Structure formats: C-alpha cells, structure tokens
Structure 1
Amino acid sequence: MTRSAALLLCAWLAVLSSSQASEIAAWDALREGRAVLLLRHATAPGMGDPANFDLSDCRTQRNLDRRGREQARRWGRLLRSQGIARPRLLSSRWCRARDTAREMGLGAVEPLPELDSFYEDRLQAAGQTAQLVEAVNALMPGTVMLLVSHQVNITALTGVYPASGEGLILARPLKVPAQVLARIPPP
C-alpha cells in the first residue's frame, strides 16, 4: 500500500469513527430526553393526497402499503433495541403517520395537529413550524419523545429532505432550523 493510500484509509476511518460516535451520542441524548426523534411516516406510495381527501376517512388518503407497515414495525424493534420502549408518541393526524406510530407497537399515539402536513398549503409552513417548535418545547423536558410527521414539515424545520421512514434525532430545545444530531436511515 502506498503512503497516500494509507493516509486516505486512516482519514476515512477517522471520519467513520467520528460519525459512529456522533450517532451513539445522539441516541444517548434521545434516551435522556435531551433530544427528540422526528420520523417521516413509513412508505406510502404516491405524493400528496387524492382530491377527495378527508382527514376523518383513511379510505380517501394515501396510506401505508405492506412495505410501509413492516418498515414501521422495524422502527419499533430498532427503538426497543436502543432502550426506548415507551416514548411519548406524537403524530400527525394523517392516517399514514398515525399508522406508522401505531405499527411500531410502542404505546398510545397522541395526535398533534402541528405535525399535520401542509403539502397542499405551503403558505402555512413558517407559522406551523413555529407552532410545532413551541408545542414540543412546552412538553416536559427529559421526556423521551417520538414525533411522526411528513416530508414538508421535516424539511421546513431542519432543511433536510428525508426519505420515507427516515428519522432525525434533533437537539432539544427545538429551534428553526433544528440542530440535527443524527440521521437514522429507514430500518
């Protein structure tokens, strides 16, 4: 191995080690209530909602498919393996977000309207994001908390465009833009 290849390998290993340490610290912060996990709902094919969308009728909404339900169950297993078995579980009122939270099997799911999608009305983004920050920061510090929302909401809060089922561990108290401690890919 050449000297430049060895130096490149050492640099790569240092970056890898640093990112692993950062992720471990982020999970610790989540377990200690110094952070929250903000999760984009699991896989629900399509974009937006159908024209006949009705918040009270899941049949009119874009919903999780089989893969999305299994992805949510894997999140539940991952969280339990990280020592998070009974978080405070807050969700958008959209069926795909609520179903993601329920499929994790971690406890009761509480609706939080500030997590609702504003995909159809982007003019609400700044105001609703500020309301979300205020609502989360008003919740008891030290509480282990999991939030399930939508891509547009997460992007407005963090600047990150998450994949379906991707999670972000965010430092508490929340601010705009939120401090991302770790990105957790869909399990």
Structure 2
Amino acid sequence: MFRFLLVLLLFLTPLPASATDAGWALLRAGGHVVLLRHAMVTGNGDPAGFDIEKCATQQKLSERGKQQARKIGALFAARAAPIDQVLSSRYCRALDTAGIAFEDNKAEKFEPLDLLSKDSGAAATQNAAVIKEVESFTGDGNLVMITHLENIQALTGAGAREGEAVIVGVDGEKLRVLGRIIF
C-alpha cells in the first residue's frame, strides 16, 4: 500500500511543474499577456479607513510576499522571458510587487486593474478596459498586468494563488487561460 501511494504521489507531482514549464515556454516566445496576482500580503483585507493614495491604510506585502516578488523577477530573468510593459493596479501591494519583481520595467498604474468594483456596471467597465488592453497588445516581449484575485476570476473564470501568473488570450468577452506559472 505504501509503494502504491508513493508511486501515485510521484505520478501526480509533475503536473504543476509541467504546467509551469509550459507557461515559461509561452513567455520565452514573447507576445503574451500575463495576469499576475500580487504577492503574499499580511491580513485578510484592507483595514478601516482605506485610502488608495495612502499605503499606510492598505494591506502590505508580507516578508514572504517580498521574497516571492524577488523570486518572480529573478525567474523572469533566468527563464529569459522578455517584458515589454508592466501595468499595475494602483493598490500598494500590487505596485510593491511590480517594483520588487520588475524594477527595470517601471510599472504604470492602470486603474482598471484595481480591486474589482462591487458595483456590477463599474466592474463590467473595468473588465472591458482590461480585455481591450489585452486585445491591443502587440509587443515582441510580454505584457505583465498585476492585479487581484477577484479580477482574475471575473476575467477568466479561474482563480490564482498570491503571486501566481496566469497567461491569457482573448476569447470573446472573456479571457482564456493559456498557461500558468506558480511561484
């Protein structure tokens, strides 16, 4: 029984690595768009008194999140995944992820990547703006868009761990997941 479980475990273990390897292959080729969920944070939500302009009022990257962001940047460089542009939510945890991971590529704030609005009309407008940006990207490198779980779920129908990269393409009014990279 123990051998069976060990063999089963060994058989199942390569799946995330294969998905991650396939994701890197896409990014090495360039011309793709990555929805990157910000790195790990402290707490479970923004504290009372949240202000988009004041980082002191927002969730922050944890020490582990800062390490994760450094790893993300190091792996993009080590795997020769070219980056044309980095767009980020205006939330400090997303901007900090961008700054630590992609310091050479100054992140531009892109409001539609902010935490998805609870108002359905505003959320639809946000998603449409992100999809338009994905559709219009024609770079030789890759476009990295740093955002939040709710946004990735609404755009793709799939979740993402903190610091996970979801490589996407346009599929009608949604984005289709082409690959994933787990950091």
Residues 1:138 and 2:150 aligned together = no
Task: Return the letter of the residue paired with 2:100.
Answer: E
- Alpha carbons 1:87, 1:106 under 8 Å: kept: no
Aligned in 2, Cα 1:140/1:181: closer, same or farther, shift over 3 Å? closer
Give the match's secondary structure for 1:179. strand
TM-score of the superposed pair, with normalisation by structure 1:
0.79
Which of 52, 61, 65 does residue 62 from structure 2 map onto? 65
TM-score of the superposed pair, with normalisation by structure 2:
0.81
Residues 1:177 and 2:179 aligned together = no
Aligned in 2, Cα 1:166/1:131: closer, same or farther, shift over 3 Å? same
Give the match's secondary structure for 1:178. strand
Superposed CA offset, 1:75-129 (max 9, x none): 0111112102544111101000000011113421111111111255455322211
- Alpha carbons 2:37, 2:146 under 8 Å: kept: yes
> CA RMSD for the aligned pairs?
2.7
Give the match's secondary structure for 1:39. strand
Q: What is the aligned partner in structure 2 of residue 152 from structure 1?
A: 150
Q: Which consecutive unaligned segments of at least 5 residues does structure 1 have? A: none
Aligned in 2, Cα 1:34/1:151: closer, same or farther, shift over 3 Å? same
**How many residues of Structure 1 are paired with residues of Structure 2 in the alignment?**
175
Q: Which consecutive unaligned segments of at least 5 residues does structure 2 have? A: none
Q: What pairs with 1:1-187 in structure 2 (closer than 5 Å)?
A: 20=18, 23-84=20-81, 86-104=83-101, 105-118=103-116, 120-121=118-119, 124-171=122-169, 173=170, 175-185=172-182, 187=183
Residue 42 of structure 1, CA deviation: 0.4
Q: How far apart, CA to CA, are the structure 2 residues paired with 1:118 and 1:65? A: 22
Q: How far apart, CA to CA, are the structure 1 residues paired with 2:139 and 2:108? A: 17
